[in-house]
């Protein structure tokens, strides 16, 4: 069906439009989705492209202004002011993370330290030296920093850091609480994706019970991923997003694959009226079916984070043995454990995880720092099952 402008009179008419998927963007990469000439664009970012062709997004100067604005809102909602010293330990490159935070913090007028990628010891030294008060990052990196601080004998609570804004990957409440405790800081969750702008689509306010999404820039639909029909408030669905103000590369009805739900609340206790969604439960393509049970890695993490003896690093390994799925959950302990302590932890985890999964997983308690993380985002699932 050929759609013309006459078909679209209200926001609800969006249902007449087709969806956009990551494959559509890849098939037309790098510049096939631009609605303006390249000359009018001033910056480009891209997804990592680990699973194929990177998704490339181009921004006009106005798109950069909008991105700075939504990021400034997320940062301000998390407590950033112009009095803050803001350290940004995210790689400055084609990944959207670092620049989004950088532009937003500058718009607020904070002092920005573009500390960039990794080198945890250096990051901690910079925090001490400059009296950093606010940090950003990929969620699992905050836990990496706390691990390194512990090894170096640095007491995080004695640093000036009092606020952190993290996201970019699965971020369970359990992990968030852990970061809050070890740093003695307030932690907020930021959601976003390259296709919309990068970070800056939504963040939780001080109520910490949902993320406000900037509806004046992104139109949100919540759909059942199976039949693509709208789901009710408070019911889990896939977030489908449309950019409302982008010039360089607007995107209609983008299927994010991210699963969450919208809360039924007109006005938040914080006074904001922007719609509020739950933390991201996982991506529909991350959902695993193990022995017929649907499971998101976040459900396992939520169990693990309840145990203070469990470290921050873990992963699920799925194999097929005698034609039956076998799940092993590898878990680093926080400190070295005796054999007895290790066995006790293993038993407790097995029982607790079984109540989520219905079947018995194998649990392997590893020494601290046994799992090597490669790449920017933590890889929690290794699925070795052969697909027909």
- Which residue stretch of 58-66, 107-115, 163-171, 240-248 sits at the interface with ligand DLL (rule: CB under 6 A)? 163-171
Q: Verify binding: residue 191, ligand DLL, rule CB under 6 A.
A: yes
Out of 198, 210, 297, 361, the only residue in the binding site for ligand DLL (CB under 6 A) is 198
Torsions phi, psi of 301, nearest 5? Answer: -60, -40
**279, 87 contact by CB (below 8 A):** no
Out of 97, 164, 311, 361, the only residue in the binding site for ligand DLL (CB under 6 A) is 97
**278, 231 contact by CB (below 8 A):** no
Q: Verify binding: residue 146, ligand DLL, rule CB under 6 A.
A: no
Integer CA distances (angstroms), 74 to 94, 134, 200, 203, in order? 21, 13, 6, 6
Q: Verify binding: residue 330, ligand DLL, rule CB under 6 A.
A: no
Out of 162, 283, 350, 379, the only residue in the binding site for ligand DLL (CB under 6 A) is 283
Residue 99, SS3? helix
Q: Verify binding: residue 69, ligand DLL, rule CB under 6 A.
A: no
Q: Is 347 exposed, middle or buried (0-12, 13-18, 19+ CB in 10 A)?
A: exposed
Out of 71, 77, 105, 170, the only residue in the binding site for ligand DLL (CB under 6 A) is 170
Out of 127, 132, 141, 189, the only residue in the binding site for ligand DLL (CB under 6 A) is 189
Q: Verify binding: residue 96, ligand DLL, rule CB under 6 A.
A: yes
Torsions phi, psi of 169, nearest 5? Answer: -160, 175
Query: Residue number with the shortest CB distance to ligand DLL?
Result: 167
Out of 163, 194, 333, 342, the only residue in the binding site for ligand DLL (CB under 6 A) is 194
* Cα 283 to Cα 260: distance, rounded to the nearest angstrom: 9
Which is closer to ligand DLL, CB of 239 or CB of 371? 239
Q: How many CA atoms lie within 13 A of 249 on its CB side?
A: 28
Q: Verify binding: residue 332, ligand DLL, rule CB under 6 A.
A: no
Q: Verify binding: residue 221, ligand DLL, rule CB under 6 A.
A: no
Q: Verify binding: residue 25, ligand DLL, rule CB under 6 A.
A: no
Per DSSP, the residues of 236-283 read: -EEEEEEESS-SSS--SSEEEEEEE-B---SS-TTS--S-EEPPP-EE
Q: Verify binding: residue 80, ligand DLL, rule CB under 6 A.
A: no
Place of tokens 């693509």: 228
Q: Are strands 85-87 and 111-113 parallel, antiparallel or unpaired?
A: parallel
Out of 256, 313, 326, 342, the only residue in the binding site for ligand DLL (CB under 6 A) is 256
Least separation in angstroms between residue 292's CB and ligand DLL is 25
Residue 198, SS3? strand
Q: Verify binding: residue 54, ligand DLL, rule CB under 6 A.
A: no
Judged by the rule CB under 6 A, the positions of this chain that interact with ligand DLL are: 47, 96-97, 167-171, 189-194, 198-199, 256, 258, 280, 283
């Amino acid at each position: 069906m050929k759609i013309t402008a006459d078909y679209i009179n209200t926001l609800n008419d969006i249902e007449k439009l087709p969806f956009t998927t990551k494959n559509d963007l890849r098939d037309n990469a790098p510049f096939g989705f631009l609605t303006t000439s390249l000359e009018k664009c001033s910056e480009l970012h891209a997804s990592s492209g680990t699973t194929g062709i990177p998704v490339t997004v181009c921004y006009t100067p106005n798109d950069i202004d909008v991105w700075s604005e939504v990021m400034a809102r997320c940062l301000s909602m998390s407590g950033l002011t112009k009095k803050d010293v803001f350290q940004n330990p995210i790689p400055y490159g084609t990944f959207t993370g670092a620049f989004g935070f950088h532009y937003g913090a500058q718009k607020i007028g904070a002092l920005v330290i573009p500390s960039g990628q990794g080198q945890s010891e250096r990051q901690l030294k910079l925090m001490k030296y400059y009296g950093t008060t606010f940090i950003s990052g990929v969620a699992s990196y905050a836990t990496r920093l706390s691990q390194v601080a512990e090894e170096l004998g640095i007491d995080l609570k004695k640093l000036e850091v009092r606020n952190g804004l993290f996201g970019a990957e699965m971020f369970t409440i359990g992990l968030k609480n852990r970061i809050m405790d070890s740093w003695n800081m307030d932690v907020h969750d930021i959601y976003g994706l390259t296709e919309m702008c990068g970070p800056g689509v939504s963040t939780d306010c001080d109520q910490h019970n949902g993320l406000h999404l900037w509806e004046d820039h992104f139109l949100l639909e919540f759909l059942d991923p199976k039949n693509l029909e709208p789901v009710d408030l408070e019911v889990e669905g896939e977030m489908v997003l449309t950019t409302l103000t982008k010039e360089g590369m607007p995107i209609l009805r983008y299927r994010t694959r991210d699963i969450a739900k919208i809360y039924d609340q007109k006005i938040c206790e914080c006074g904001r009226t922007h719609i509020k969604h739950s933390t991201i439960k996982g991506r529909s393509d991350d959902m695993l079916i193990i022995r017929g049970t649907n499971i998101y890695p976040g459900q396992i993490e939520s169990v693990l984070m309840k145990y203070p003896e469990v470290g921050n690093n873990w992963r699920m390994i799925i194999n097929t043995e005698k034609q039956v799925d076998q799940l092993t959950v590898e878990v680093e302990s926080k400190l070295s454990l005796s054999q007895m302590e290790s066995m006790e932890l293993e038993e407790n985890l097995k029982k607790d995880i079984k109540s989520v999964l219905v079947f018995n997983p194998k649990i392997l308690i590893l020494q601290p720092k046994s799992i090597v993380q490669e790449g920017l985002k933590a890889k929690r699932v290794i699925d070795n099952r052969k697909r027909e």
